[in-house]
Every structure is written in structure tokens, then in C-alpha cells.
Amino acid sequence: MNFEQLGVIPTILTAIEKQGYTQATPIQEKSIPIVLNRSDLIGCAQTGTGKTAAFSIPILQLLSNSKAYQGKRKIRALIVTPTRELAIQIGDSLKAYGRHTGLNSTVIFGGVNQNKQTGALQNGVDILVATPGRLLDLMVQGFIALRDIELFVLDEADRMLDMGFIHDVNKIIRALPEKRQNLFFSATMAP
């Protein structure tokens, strides 16, 4: 099935085609309509099957269809992932697929000076990709508020819980609005 058949809007279709993609993978084919329908989702597929696009594309579409901000942009989608490498990869995908949407995203992770990251946050961000530690740190410092989150993605959900992030994830979830769309993706998912 191609992305147009999945209901992906032309501005994102153009960007997907520039990336060289024409046919959706099975995880994308199953996930994109569910996410666009604003339903919660647990998606499980092997590494390398296009999970990032399976949530990035519909998030970009939902947010670009409802640009409800006036003044400074508020974080409306949060993607939490266990490693900086994965966070950077997701950030690159969002920029590639969303290049024509007018949305902006930023990536935050620990192990580097936070000034560039906090500067991006202060300019306003639609989509935030974050590792748990730096996210919580910047929340405590007052740089991040999660009250406007419409979409919450926990990427590599099983690894997040296995790698000792469960307490951090619980703190993050407690800071989110009760009404939101939840998307959990993983390569492996225990029962």
C-alpha cells in the first residue's frame, strides 16, 4: 500500500518521496490509520521496519492539520526514547518528513551542554524528542511544561522499562495531561 492510500497529506507525501519511500511497510500500513484516527496504539515490529515513520508521519499530519497556537509554540507532541542516538535519529526523521509542514521539532539529551537545547525550547517547539533524564532535568529547571501535550510516544517501550527508566517514565506520565493520545512502540514486547 502506498502512503497516499493511507491518507497522508500532500505536503508530507512530497517529503516522504524525497526520502525515496513509496510503499508503506507493514507496521506503517497498520499504524498510520490508527494514529490518524486519534486512537491509542501499541506497535511492535522488528528493528529496521520503519517504526519511526509509523508514528512520525501521522503525528506531523495531525499537528499540521490543527495549528492551534498563537504566539510562542507549545510542545504538543512528546517522544521519549532511551538513547541519544535514537533521539537524534527520530529528530532527523521528523525534520525530513515534516520539512513542508511549518512545524518544528527539537531533540534533547544528556551528556552535552544544555544551552543550545534550552535556547531551542525557549523559541518554541511543536514536537519534542527527549531522553528521560534530560527531560526531567529541564522540567525541574522550568524550561519544559508538558500541559499542552496531545500526543505521547514511548519509543522502545520495553527497553525503557527494562533499562531502569520506569521511575522516570512514571514521573513524565504524571506530568502529562490526562487527555492525550498514547503511542507505545517497540521491537520486542513481553506479554
- Residue 62 is predicted with a pLDDT of 96
Q: Are 3 and 13 in contact (CB under 8 A)?
A: yes
Is the pLDDT confidence value at 67 over 70? no
Confidence of residue 34 (pLDDT cuts 50, 70, 90): very high
Residue 45 confidence (pLDDT) above 60: yes
Q: Report pLDDT for 70.
A: 64
* pLDDT value at residue 161: 77
- Pick the closest to residue 152 from 130, 123, 167, 168 (CA basis): 130
Burial class from Cβ neighbours inside 10 Å (0-12, 13-18, 19+) for residue 176 reads middle
Task: List, in sequence order, every residue forming a beta bridge with 70; answer none if it has no partner.
Answer: none
pLDDT of 157: 85
The mean per-residue pLDDT over the stretch 93-99 comes to 96
Q: What is the pLDDT of residue 162?
A: 73
Q: Which residue has the higher pLDDT, 169 or 73?
A: 169
Band (8; pLDDT cuts 50, 70, 90):
very high
Give the pLDDT confidence of 102-144 residue by residue, as tens digits: 999 999 999 999 999 999 999 999 999 999 999 999 999 999 9
CA dihedral 187, 53, 136, 42 (to 10 degrees): -50
